[in-house]
Amino acid sequence: MSHSYSSNVVHCVFSTRNRIDLIPEQKQELLYAYLYGIAKNLRMEMLAAGGTRNHVHILVALPAAKSLSDSVRDLKANSSRWMKENGDDFGWQEGFGAFSVSASQIPVVKTYIRNQLEHHR
């Protein structure tokens, strides 16, 4: 087979080290933008990003040739380095949650992710 098609959309959640509030509200949108950039560089399509002071939700379409665990590892490693370079004592907790999302549910999950601050109030 010379061509492959894959539709692998995943809702991932990962937390800060010990679930400590390490992501100040004024830096959250910058972090999400940075995650979008990392994803683009890794040939992933970031569909949504959101979260709170102690965890992040992302909705990402993974390429066929990249594993979920490698993708999340790369997103966490690069974003952690960026946070540290910008003066924060920062780290992600080990592990993550990941849930496949069908095409029909993508709009619902995007809304859920983008409304995390309100959801956790």
Q: How far apart are CA 1 and CA 97, in angstroms?
A: 32
What does pLDDT average to in each consecutive run of 10 residues of the chain (121 residues)? 78 96 94 97 96 96 93 97 90 96 97 81 66
Query: What is the third-level CATH fold of 8-120?
Result: Alpha-Beta Plaits (3.30.70)
pLDDT at position 111 is 95
pLDDT at position 86 is 86
pLDDT at position 18 is 95
Q: How far apart are CA 60 and CA 45, in angstroms?
A: 6
pLDDT at position 110 is 96
